Structure 1
Amino acid sequence: MSTHLGSTQNEVEHSSGGVLIRQYQGENEICLVQIPTRGGNPSWRLPKGGIEAGETSEQAALRETREETGCHGEVLSELSPLEYWYTRRDDDTGERIRVRKLVDFFLMKYTHGDTGDHDHEVDESKWFTFSQALETISYDAERRVFQEAIHAWDAYLYRQSFEEEGAGTSL
């Protein structure tokens, strides 16, 4: 692609993230992170980030979720990926770049950790009930991923109830 003044270059970024869920005092909760935006308004979103060399998408999701939330999780299932476009300026040339962003998401069950241990990239990491999160998530596309995760979580809990029931019976 030629790069003359006023032209726009296209790039592709591939990231991975987690929908980290736990049961706490009888409630289902999700961990969201607050990120500052270029416009200065903070946004609440699902933890995600770039896939490093040698990492699988699943490994990157676990690492990024741990770094951004301070909490560890166990992957339960893969969710539908997101695809969207955004623009940014090239650091060297100032040229406008259109970026096609692909994000793989995974449903994760919280295992341990503390939201206070998040890295410097996020302003805050916090647990929300499902209903609070649906109102809080800043981006519609991530809200749809979360809604899919709710169904997958419910299915996981349903399967767990049968496994626990079956473990108590002997043949």
Structure 2
Amino acid sequence: MPEETLLLLSEQFVISCGCVLFVPASQQIVLVKSLSATQAGSWLLPKGRKNVGETLEAAAVREAFEETGCECELWECEMRTRATDANVLGRVSDVARSTRCTEPLAVQMRATRHGHQKLIFWFIGKMKEGCTPQPLEAHEHYEVGFFGYDEAVRQLRWDHDREIVRKAVQIVRGQPQPSALQNGLAKPVPNSKIL
């Protein structure tokens, strides 16, 4: 019996991309607090719609910067994925395997209040070293906060966002930590900081 398939034509969906944005040196996650009327007061992960012709990866980095003011990049991490290795020729089994990559850690599908589907590709990002958050553009209605890993999970409004952050933290905790932390020169910041 064939699997069910859902077909969405171009006007029936929107693609969004977002990041779980880490600050590795302080072991924090950057969240945004919505100041808009529809979600006022809610702490969220930075995300937004992909532009025409833009890659998923570029959209995730751009949206994270626009909403947080933090220059960032995708964080190459060891994670399990079903994506195939570009260097392997021939047929590759459809099984999850561990590899260092910047593939999405999750894909989420939400029905919108406008009647279409929103596909959200979630990536693991990290703030660039030495970056100072920049002021947000006037059309971005967010407050920016820096939270320890556990506190970030508690602050998030949506259950799926909490699940995505837990998975990202699990993946990141399996990575080598910044040398300043290993040498005891920097200490993780357990408390939150709001800009």
Structure 1 pair 132–60 and aligned structure 2 pair: CA distance change class (3 A): same
Distance 1:107 1:157, change over 3 A: same
Q: Which has the higher helix share?
A: 1
Post-superposition offset of 1:20:
0.8
Contact 1:52 1:60 in 2 (8 A): yes
**What is the match of residue 24 of structure 2?**
23
Distance 1:34 1:85 in 2: 22
1:104 counterpart = 2:121? yes
Change in Cα spacing, 1:74 to 1:39, as seen in structure 2 (3 Å) is closer
Unaligned runs of 5+ in 1: 1-9, 88-96, 165-171
Match of 1:131 in 2: 150
- DSSP 3-state at the match of 1:42: coil
- Select 1:82's aligned residue among 96, 108, 123: 108
Residue type matched to 1:150 in 2?
A: V
Structure 2 residue aligned with 1:33: 32
* Structure 1 residue 33: Cα displacement: 0.5
| Equivalent residue letter for 1:56 | T
SS in 2 for 1:109: strand
Deviation at 1:36, TM superposition (A): 3.1
Q: How far did residue 64 of structure 1 move?
A: 0.4
Matching residue within 143, 166, 170 for 1:151 = 170
Q: Do the aligned partners of residues 122 and 80 (structure 1) sit closer, same or farther apart at CA in structure 2, a change above 3 Å counting?
A: same
**Larger Cα-atom Rg:** 1
Comparing 148-157 and 48-57, the one that deviates more: 148-157
For residues 136 and 147 of structure 2, the distance between their equivalents in structure 1, rounded to whole angstroms, comes to 16
1:99 shift after superposition: 2.4
Which deviations, in whole Å up to 9, do the C-alpha atoms of 1:41-80 show, x marking residues without a partner? 3211000011111210000000000110000112123211
TM normalised by structure 1 equals 0.73
Q: Which region of structure 1 is more displaced relative to structure 2, 149-158 or 33-42?
A: 33-42
Output the TM-score relative to the length of structure 2. 0.65
C-alpha distance in structure 1 between counterparts of 2:16 and 2:39, whole Å: 23
Tell me the CA shift for residue 117 of structure 1: 2.0
Identity percentage over the alignment? 29
Q: Higher strand proportion, which one?
A: 1
SS for the counterpart of 1:81 is: strand
Alignment partner, residue 72 of structure 2: 73
Query: Is 1:113 aligned to 2:131, yes or no?
Result: yes
- Between Structure 1 and Structure 2, how many residues are aligned? 141
In structure 2, the CA distance between the partners of 1:40 and 1:21, relative to structure 1 (3 Å rule), is: closer
Q: Name 1:13's counterpart in structure 2.
A: 14
**Equivalent residue letter for 2:69:** G
- Inter-CA distance 55–150: structure 2 relative to 1 (3 Å threshold): same
Distance 1:55 1:136, change over 3 A: same
